[in-house]
Amino acid sequence: MVTEEDVRRLALALPETAEKPMYGTPAFYVRGKWFARIREEGDLLVLPVASQEEKDGLVAAEPAKFRTMPHYDGHAIVLVRFGAVDAEEMGELLADAWRLRAPRRLAAGSDS
């Protein structure tokens, strides 16, 4: 099971990433744009995805890992359950979200 410390370690390993609070919980930013936030519950990570279609597909295909809630309706954002992914998969999900939010040149020059 992934922990908050695992998420922090994985996120901060990505280039030019910083941590600062968002809505009172830890969030991770690349050059001022958020790409991940730990929800108040402490066992869910909020991540942007490329499209509403990707969000719908993830939630439908793997509901044990991915979910959403009405607050995120109309937004390409998915919730990831810490207990349903291992550190490797969480790292991949964070890297994908980072690439979505990082400036193109930074993302293009990264091996993340």
Tokens matching residue 69? 């809630």
The reply to whether 100 falls in a domain is no
φ/ψ bin of 70: left (φ > 0), alpha (ψ from -120 to 50), beta (otherwise): alpha
| pLDDT tens string 45-98 | 999 999 999 999 999 999 999 999 999 999 999 999 999 999 999 999 999 999
* Domain around 50: 1-75
**63 three-class SS:** coil
The reply to whether 67 falls in a domain is yes
The reply to whether 91 falls in a domain is no
The reply to whether 52 falls in a domain is yes
Given a cut of 60, whether residue 111 has pLDDT beyond it is no
pTM score, two decimals?
0.93
> pLDDT band at residue 42, thresholds of 50, 70 and 90?
confident
Tokens matching residue 95? 């890297």
53 contacts 46 by C-beta, under 8 angstroms: no
The reply to whether 95 falls in a domain is no
The reply to whether 53 falls in a domain is yes
How many domains is the chain built from?
1
Count of CA atoms in the C-beta half-sphere (13 A) of 109: 7
The reply to whether 47 falls in a domain is yes
> pLDDT band at residue 108, thresholds of 50, 70 and 90?
confident
